[in-house]
Amino acid sequence: MELLVASAIGLLFAAGTYLLLRGRTFPVVIGLTLLAYGVNALIFAMGRLHTDRPPVLSLELESYADPLPQALVLTAIVIAFGMTAFVVVLILRSFLEVGSDHVDGSEPHDPATPHHYPDGSARPADRPEGVGIGGGRS
């Protein structure tokens, strides 16, 4: 069971990480959601795995699952919802504002090598509008 849980958390992290690195905002939000599942499960697992021993005091049970990680994760789930809600509204507003849902705030010039300058030089004229602080308005 432990291996199953550990690998399930690993799967959530792997999928979440891959989506986090995508170029459009919506997959990134989905990636964050998956990562939130993974992180919550990870924190929960730190209290070790127990079956049929919920931390509700009763006369029948001798020992209980660790309640502390559960309490931490309970609020974490709600906060993760708050964060997802905020981020999703943020990407929506950014999309409405600049007309592109690319994570850099504008459509890449060349789809093959977006925003990549091989010689490493800064060419402000070429830089996609909306990159950096104060940008974001078309």
Partner 1 sequence: MQLALIVLLPFIGAVLPALMIRAGRNACATTTFAVTLTALLILLSLAPRVFAGEVVQYRLEWLPSLGLDVNFFVDGYGLLFAGLILFIGLLIITYARYYLAKEDPMGRFMAYLLLFQGAMVGVVLSDNILLLLIFWELTSLTSFLLIGYWSHLPEGRQGARMALVVTGSGGLSLIGGMLILGQIAGSYDISVIITRAEVIQQSPYYIPALLLILGGCFTKSAQFPFHFWLPHAMAAPTPVSAYLHSATMVKAGIFLLGRLWPALAGTDAWFYIVTTTGLATMVIGAWIALFKDDLKGLLAHSTVSHLGLVTFLFGIGTPFAAMAGVFHIINHAAFKAALFMNAGIIDHEAGTRDIRQLGGLVHLMPISATMAFIAALSMAGIPPFGGFMSKEFMLEAAAHTAWFGLGFDPAVGLVATIGALFSVAYSLRYIGHVYLGPKRDDYPHAPHDPPFGMWAPPAVLVAMVVLIGLVPNPVVGPLLATSAAAVIGGELPYYSLSLWHGLTPALFMSIVAVIGGYLLLTRHTAAIVFRARFWRPEAKELFEAAVAASIGWARRGTWALQNGSLQRYLAALTGMALLGGFVTYLAAPGSLGSEPMLPVPALALVAWLMLAAACGAVVFRHRQRLFTLVLVGVIGVIVSLGFLYLSAPDLALTQISVEVVSVVLLLLALNFLPKTTPVESPLPRKARDAVLAVFAGIGVTTAVYAVLTRDFSSISEFHLANAYKGGGGTNVVNIILVDFRGLDTFGEIIVLGIAALCIVALLDTAMQGASGRRIANWQVDMKRSADRHPLLLVVGTRVMLAFALAVGAYIFLRGHNEPGGGFIAGLVVSIALIMQYMASGFAWAQRRAGLDYHAVIGWGVIVAGLTGVGSWLFDYPFLTSWFDYITLPIVGTFEVASAIAFDLGVFLCVVGSVMLALARLSRVGRIAEHLEVAEGAMDVDPRDVPNGAAAAIAAASPAAAK
17-76: contacts with partner 1 (CB under 8 A) = 17-27, 29-30, 33-34, 37-38, 40-42, 44-58, 64-68, 70-71, 73-75
Q: Which residue has the tokens 């990680």?
A: 69
| Phi-psi label, residue 105: left if phi above 0, alpha if psi -120 to 50, beta otherwise | left
Side-chain-side CA neighbours of residue 68 (13 Å): 3
Q: Which residues contact 88 (CB under 8 A, 6 or more apart)?
A: 29
Element (H, E) at 24: none
| Closest CB 106 distance from partner 1, rounded Å | 10
Task: Check residue 2 for interaction with partner 1 (CB under 8 A).
Answer: yes
Q: Which of 60, 62, 82, 134 binds partner 1 (CB under 8 A)?
A: 82
Residue 42 or residue 125: which is nearer to partner 1 going by CB?
42
Which 85-114 residues touch partner 1, going by CB under 8 A? 85-86, 88-93, 95-99, 101, 103-104, 108, 111-114
Q: How many residues sit in the footprint of partner 1 (CB under 8 A)?
A: 101
Which two three-digit tokens encode residue 61? Answer: 């049970």
